[in-house]
Amino acid sequence: MKDTPPEIEEKVREIFRKKTPEERIRMGCEMYDVSRYLVRQALLRENPNISEAELKQQLFLRFYGNEFSKDKMAEILAHLAKHT
């Protein structure tokens, strides 16, 4: 869905162009932190009794679930289960 008028999109791009690389990186990191927090809270609401290991696994799946082969995914999830 695209509901932003082109002139507003251009204003937003101009604001970002004026930022330093450091400011843009900081903004990206802050957005990631907020999204991770929101997903974590949703997972906890869905399953209040989830273990820390399961929570880490579910967070990983939500963010990177389509990025790895099935074998690599199983290896990563096993690692997260052991190192909590």
Per-residue pLDDT reduced to its tens digit, 18-53: 999 999 999 999 999 999 999 999 999 999 999 999
The per-residue b/e assignment along 11-21, b for 16 or more CB within 10 angstroms, e otherwise, is eeeeeeeeeee
Q: Binning pLDDT at 50, 70 and 90, where does residue 1 land?
A: confident
The pLDDT assigned to 2 comes to 81
The pLDDT assigned to 15 comes to 95
Q: How far apart are CA 34 and CA 37, in angstroms?
A: 5
Query: Among residues of the chain, what percentage have pLDDT more than 70?
Result: 99
Q: How many CA atoms lie within 13 A of 25 on its CB side?
A: 3
Q: How many CA atoms lie within 13 A of 49 on its CB side?
A: 0
Q: How far apart are CA 6 and CA 66, in angstroms?
A: 31
Domain ranges of the chain: 6-82
Report the predicted TM-score, pTM, of the whole model to 2 decimal places: 0.77
Q: How far apart are CA 28 and CA 41, in angstroms?
A: 20
Computed over every residue of the chain, the mean pLDDT equals 94
